[in-house]
Every structure is written in C-alpha cells, then in structure tokens.
Amino acid sequence: MRVLRAFGIAIGALVILAVGLYAPATLLAPLPNATMAERDVTESTDGTPPALPDAGASAIAESAEGPVIARAGESEPVPMAGIAKVVTALVVLDAHPMSADEEGETVPITSRDFLRYNDYRDAGARVVTVYTDDTWSQRAMLQAVLLGSSNNHADTLAAWAFGSVDAYVNEAAKWLAQHELTDTTVVDATGLSPDDVSTASDLSRLAALAMANPVIPTVLEQDVSGIAEVRGVENTTSYMAERNVTGISRSFTTQAGICLLFAATVPVDDTTYTFYGAMVRMPDWDSLDASMSALMDSAEKGVHTGPVLPEGTPVATFTTPWGATADGVIGSSAAVTRWVGASPVVHVTTNGFALATEGDIVATASVSEGASTSDIPVKIDKTVHAPDVLWRLSHPIELIPAFVDQIFGG
C-alpha cells in the first residue's frame, strides 16, 4: 500500500511538474513565422511594346550590360555587313584611345594601303581614295570607316593599329569575349565576308557600346573635314534624324541584306529615353523604313515615367499557423523612365515574420520589366495579431521546440 501511495505521489508530482512547464513553454515560446505565397501580378500600365519586324533579325537594348528589351526574327548569328566596321573602330580605339576633341595619332598611307584601295575599287566595293605617302589623322580614318564605310580604310586602320589585319582579327576576338558578345565573330575588318556574323541581340548591345565611347558619337555628329572631306567621304550612316534616330552603320551585302545599327531617343516629360538597336537581313530599303517608323511610333507611345508597379499592388499573401492572413503590397518607389508594355515579372523575398503592424516592411519585390529590374519594399496591408491563449495551449508541437531553442540557444 505504501508503495502504491509513493508511486501515486511520484506520478502526481510529474503531472504537476509537466503542467507547470507546459503552460510557460506554450505561452512564452516565440511564434512561428508566417508562410508566404507569391501572387500573380496582372497589373499592366498603359503602354505599347516595341514593334519589331518579322523579316530579318532585330533587337533593341537599353544598355550594353543588361538584357535586350525585345527581339524578333532570326535568333541565330547572321552576316552583319558593314556593322563589322563598328567593331573595328571600337577595337582600335581600345588599343589607341583618344579624347572626344582630339585628332588622334597619325596614320601613314603605305604602298600596301594604296594597293588595297585599288583592289577594293576594282571589285566594286565601297572605297575612299588614298595615295601612297598620304597622312591621315586617326579621326579622319574613323570618318572614312564609319561615315564613308570605306573598306580600304577599315583594313588600313586595323593593320596600322595591330600590324596586320590577321592580328586585328585576333584582338577583336578577345575584345568581343571581354564584352560578352559571345554570338559575334569577325574574320576581317570590313564585314564583306559572310563569316562576319552576329545576332541582333549582340548588335543592339554593340550599338550601346559604340555610343558610350567618347569618340564615336562625335565622329557621327560632326561634319567631315580635312583630308576626309577632300577625298570625298560622305555620310552614309545618317538615317531618320527627324525621328531622333542616330545611324551608326547602314550597309548592304548580298549575304547580309540591308543592315542598320542605330541609337534612338524619345522625349518623355522633362527628360529623354535612349535605346539602341539593330535591324539586319532586311529585304529592301522600303521594309527598313517602314519597320523603323513603326518602332519609333511604338516608342513614342510605350515609353513612360512612373513607378514600375503602382503603390498598393498586392504581390504576396502571408498566412500564419493560427489562421491570420494579410497581403504584402508594393510600397512607394522612385519613378523610372522605361518602355512599358507587358506585365512585369515579380519575385518576392522575405526574411520572415510572425507578427506585424499595418505598414511594416516585411519583404522585397524584385520587379523586372524589359531590361530594367527594381527592388521595391513590400508592406503588410493590415496588422497581424498574436494568437489567443487557447491556440498556444493546443499547439505544443509548434511551440515547445522553439521555447527550448530560445532557452538553451539551440
């Protein structure tokens, strides 16, 4: 009898101890975090996506570093004609830099250069006259290469800068790899070979690189002067200036078709928006004109300044284990000038929370639209309250391990 009584006392003591620990463990334990479910964002501000032609291959980009905004047509590398001369100019300027207002180094014309001129002239390729013992400034050479699309000057400039055209081709391959133009290959300085190939996506980024160079925009904008003027260099690149388009290269070969490399600017409120692009393998000049007009029309309609997503747009739903729910909504963000078209792609990340007061920042939304990505704070749309005592007492599995971790620093 005494044994049973002692056993009962022990059991009773354990029960009392368990109850004594159970209540504090469940009532004082940290609460588990709410779970998050991302929501489909169908919000689409008024806008017009870039209008690109089905013919040939085309693409536009906002910068040399980011992804393209849009692309259309052929996706594989195709011949790029005289656009290869833009690569020549950039690679030479990388090795022989000059400032925007300099004439640059002196480039002597050798008998080999005169023979190049004769060979290209006799073949019916575009040339600008040179004579042995001429001296051209680096800027004048660039005027002949870029504005005049002179094939003999492209070879002469490449050979002057690197010792030979073959050596230039090796340096160009390194330069293209350095700038991650991995779908672009040049085998000469002129673009006459059908093996000078690229994708429209790479070329749109090449256009951005060209316009970011301090010298090339001045070559495109300034009047031809000096020996380049005397020898008849004409501007073959100018195109749709009345629509704020800057032609960087405009050329044709049988394999490449008509090719245009360009930059374009659209006025927006009190600022401007610039994009870069390429249209290659266009079947004829009328098709190019119509395609560029349609693109500029879509730019004028599609470029806006404003937040990527309106403040208050729901992007996530948070649910607590005790059944409380609240939405995560887009907070305030800076106005961005961008090309508005389709709904943006939104990815939400959170560090986790159990309780929150209305307006608290609980997550971050990475919002991608075209080539632009913005990180925007996500706020909770209503207060998330703690559960009642009954829920705590009835959910030991969720709470007691957290209590133990809190006590023992697990």
The pLDDT tens digits of the residues spanning 180-198 come to 999 999 999 999 999 999 9
> Which H or E run includes 111?
helix 111-122
For the domain made up of 57-303, give the CATH fold: Beta-lactamase (3.40.710)
The DSSP code sequence of 293-337 is HHHHHHHHHHEEEE-SS-TT-EEEEEE-TTS-EEEEEE-----EE
At residue 16 the predicted structure's pLDDT band, cuts being 50, 70 and 90, is very low
Report the phi/psi class of residue 340: left, alpha or beta, with left for phi > 0 and alpha for psi in -120 to 50: beta
Q: Which residue has the higher pLDDT, 60 or 45?
A: 60
The pLDDT tens digits of the residues spanning 123-173 come to 999 999 999 999 999 999 999 999 999 999 999 999 999 999 999 999 999
Among 128, 119, 120, which Cα is nearest to 147's?
Answer: 128
pLDDT of residue 45: 56
First to last CA, the chain: 44
pLDDT of residue 44: 55
pLDDT of residue 295: 97
At residue 9 the predicted structure's pLDDT band, cuts being 50, 70 and 90, is very low
Q: Are 135 and 170 in contact (CB under 8 A)?
A: no
The domain ranges of the chain are 30-45+310-410, 57-303
Query: How many CB atoms are closer than 10 A to CB 74?
Result: 15
At residue 29 the predicted structure's pLDDT band, cuts being 50, 70 and 90, is confident
Global model pTM greater than 0.75? yes
The pLDDT tens digits of the residues spanning 222-277 come to 999 899 999 999 999 999 999 999 999 999 999 999 999 999 999 988 889 999 99
CA distance to 22, 201, 203, 295, 409, per residue, from 280 (Å): 74, 11, 9, 14, 64
Q: Which residue has the higher pLDDT, 342 or 261?
A: 261
What mean pLDDT comes out for the span 273-302?
A: 96
Please give the mean pLDDT across all residues of the chain: 90
pLDDT of residue 46: 61
* The two structure tokens encoding residue 201: 């996506």
Query: Given a cut of 60, is residue 1 above it in pLDDT?
Result: no
At residue 83 the predicted structure's pLDDT band, cuts being 50, 70 and 90, is very high
